[in-house]
Structure 1
Amino acid sequence: MADLVLFNSEQLFPKKITIQRLVDVDLEIAAQVIRESFATVADDFDLTIDNCPTNGAFTQAKHLKIDLEKGNQLFGLYLGKKMIGFFELVYNEGNQATLEKVAIIPPERGKKYGEFILDKVREIAKNDHIERIDIGIIKENIRLKEWYQRNGYQIVRSQNFAHLPFEVLYMQLNLNNEVSSG
């Protein structure tokens, strides 16, 4: 099942880009991709394993295994046979999903792979009759906030948590019209 290709976009990219649903054997590489991707954010916002142990920069395969066992959907973005990106969908009650751990390794950023992920998230959600996708980011991460806004996400609210050294900005993408017309 790890070899099941869900999406293929040879037309958009010179090398074959695929998104694959991940299984146990993929989790170590996925954790490495997440750590490498989130390390830049951890550096930018002075996040450490002591002040923010749940940040993606500190993700281990065992954490992803727990997510998989909960029924969360984990996906890898592959450039050829190399995983260069990751995202996770958590399905909640009320036709709502949370998008987590969106990651592209730094050498592959700026090549539209993130937009490719968001397009595929939208497609997966529509196929699963999801009406809304939520995401939480670091409020002070202006570049990321603006990127999500350019991709259709709206700011909902922000909240402080005692266990986090930053304020969380919640954003969402409403798919109601797309789901009902699709």
Structure 2
Amino acid sequence: MVVDTEIRKIGEQELSNVVNILRVSFNTVAAEFNLTKENAATNAAFIEIHDLLEMKKKDIDMLGLYLCETQIGFVAVEETKQKTYYMEKLSILPKYRHKGYGKKLMDYVFKYVKRMGGEKVSIGIINQNYILKNWYLEYGFIEKTIKKYPHLCFEVCLMEKKV
């Protein structure tokens, strides 16, 4: 059950905490799929504060999920062309998973995108992460394509959902 939560924009003073949340959250996936900084440098398990500062410069919205004033989750939302928004780096600290917090963040993103006039949300995930893929499918995302990028050691499943 989701109680006493708040979702708010991340301030610059909170970025070091966001780095920690992303590293801890994505480290579980990095361990499962043998990701390293060498074979998946852009994975959030290896994020640095300068990466978040670059996101801020690009006007990518960064949102934190707080439980009783403690940040337990994160998501980034980037406006692209043709009324599509990218949802990136959705993460919940491992000890808070499977309690509805990830869904709460997604629900918020979809309401936010709708308010901004967006028509769909797009994501990219590790194609072989079947548990995560099924979670997104159950939420209503559909698979659009599978891509192999030369700088990554895995295939990426691109998914989207209309707002």
User: TM-score range, shorter-chain basis?
Assistant: over 0.9
* Matching of residue 120 in structure 1 with residue 122 in structure 2: no
The aligned counterpart of 2:55 is 67
* Equivalent runs, 1:137-152 vs 2, <5 Å: 137-152=125-140
Q: Secondary structure at the match of 2:159?
A: strand
* Matching of residue 44 in structure 1 with residue 32 in structure 2: yes
CA distance in 2, matches of 1:35, 1:80: 22
2:2 maps to amino acid? F
Q: Deviations over 1:67-99 (max 9, x none)?
A: 011100000110111110000001001111000
Unpaired runs of at least 5, structure 2: none
CA distance in 2, matches of 1:67, 1:13: 29
The aligned counterpart of 1:9 is none
Q: Deviations over 1:155-181 (max 9, x none)?
A: 000000110000000000112xxxxxx
Q: 1:13: Cα distance to partner?
A: 2.9
One of 98, 101, 110 as aligned partner of 2:89 = 101
The aligned counterpart of 1:133 is 121
* Matching of residue 13 in structure 1 with residue 2 in structure 2: yes
CA distance in 2, matches of 1:93, 1:25: 30
The aligned counterpart of 2:16 is 28
Check whether the contact 2:6–2:67 (CA below 8 A) recurs between aligned residues. yes
Taking only aligned residues, the RMSD between alpha carbons, in angstroms, comes to: 0.8
CA distance in 2, matches of 1:61, 1:104: 18
Give every structure 1 segment of 4 or more consecutive aligned residues whose post-TM-superposition deviation is greater than 3 Å.
none
1:92 maps to amino acid? T
Q: Secondary structure at the match of 1:31?
A: helix
2:84 maps to amino acid? Q
Higher Cα radius of gyration: 1
Check whether the contact 2:22–2:91 (CA below 8 A) recurs between aligned residues. yes
CA distance in 1, matches of 2:128, 2:41: 19
The aligned counterpart of 1:170 is 158
Q: Secondary structure at the match of 1:93?
A: coil
1:71 maps to amino acid? D
TM-score (norm 1): 0.88
Provide the identity percentage: 33
TM-score (norm 2): 0.98
Q: Secondary structure at the match of 1:149?
A: helix
Relative contact order (alpha carbons < 8 A, sep ≥ 6): 1 or 2 greater? 2
Q: Secondary structure at the match of 2:143?
A: strand
The aligned counterpart of 2:41 is 53
CA distance in 2, matches of 1:59, 1:70: 16
